[in-house]
Amino acid sequence: MPIILKSRDEIAIMRDAGRIVAEVLHTLVERLRPGLVEKELDEIVRKEFGKRKVIPVFLGYQGYPATVCVSVNDEIVHGIPGDREIADGDVVSIDLGCVYKGFVADAAVTVGVGNVSPEAGRLIGVTREALNRGIDAARAEARLGQIGAAIQTYVEGEGFSVVREYVGHGVGRQMHEDPQVPNYGDPETGPVLKEGMVIAIEPMVNAGDWRTKRDPDNWTVRTLDGSLSAHFEQRWTVACPPTSSIRLPCATVQRKC
C-alpha cells in the first residue's frame, strides 16, 4: 500500500481526534488505583466516547472484544481488560483509539500505580523519553530508519531492550497504514519522510530480553522472560505540529500533570 499523505484539513480533523483520545486517557489515568478492576476502564471508555460521539476503533477490530487495551507488568501490548484487580506497584499500559469524522486517533501511556519499584519507575521514564527521541527524529526529508535508530540507541544505552516483533505504523482513515515504524534499525534505511505523513511512534521497551510470546487468548503479548515492559504511543505529523496538542498523562498516578 502506498504511503498516504494527508491534507491540512484532514490533519486538522486528526488533531481533534487526538485531543479526544488524550482527554479520555487522562480520565483513565486519574481513575487508576490499587483495587480497580480492569474492565472498569473499558466501561469508562464506553461512557466517555459515547458522550463525545466517537467510535472506539479497537472494539471488534479483528475480533478484539474491548474498547481499550490494558497490559500489566510483563504484558507488552493488547491485554484484554477483565476481572483482574490492579495491585499496588503494578506497571499498567493503556492503549486507546477512536474514530472521529472518519479518521483514527491512537495513543498509549504507561503508568506506575502506587509504590512502584525503582526499576519500574526508571523503565517507564526511559520509555517515555524514547518516544520523545523518536518524535525528534521524525522530520521531513529524514529517513524513516532514523526514528527507530534514535529509539534503539537511547533505550539500549540505558540497559533496556526494544521489542522487535511489534512496531509503530502509519495512521489515517485506517488504524494501520503504511509505513511500518520499527523502534530499531539502521538510520540510513526506509522511505524518506514527507510533509503530510502521519505516523504512530510507539516504543515498546522491556526491562529484560526483547523477545515476546502470545497468550492463549491470541491477543495478550508479554515478554518471553517475564520481565517488566512499558509502552508509549503518540501520533506525529511530519513537518507539522503534533496531531494531539494535549499533553499525554504523566508516568505515575502519584504525580500531577
| Closest listed residue to residue 98, CA positions, set 22, 199, 7, 198 | 22
In a domain, 136, yes or no: yes
Looking at residue 96, its pLDDT comes to 98
Question: Could you read off the pLDDT of 5-14 as tens digits, one per residue?
Answer: 999 999 999 9
- Residue 242 domain-assigned? no
DSSP 43-58: HHHHHHHHHHT-EESS
- The pLDDT assigned to 239 comes to 59
CA distance 205 to 211: 11
- Residue 128's domain comprises 8-237
State pTM to two decimals: 0.93
CATH number at residue 60: 3.90.230.10
Burial class (CB in 10 A: 0-12, 13-18, 19+), 188: exposed
- Asked if the structure places residue 128 within a domain, the reply is yes
Q: Which amino acid is at 136?
A: D
**Total number of domains in the chain:** 1
Amino acid (one-letter) located at 121 = G
Nearest in space to 190 (alpha carbons), one of 199, 231, 128: 199
Does 254 reside within a domain? no
Whether 2 is in a domain gets the answer no
Whether 243 is covered by a domain: the verdict is: no
Residue 257 lies in a domain: no
Q: Is residue 76 part of a domain?
A: yes
Which pLDDT belongs to residue 94? 98
The reported pLDDT for the residue numbered 79 is: 98
Which tens digit of pLDDT belongs to each residue from 85-123? 999 999 999 999 999 999 999 999 999 999 999 999 999
Question: Residue 191 carries which side chain, given as an amino acid letter?
Answer: P
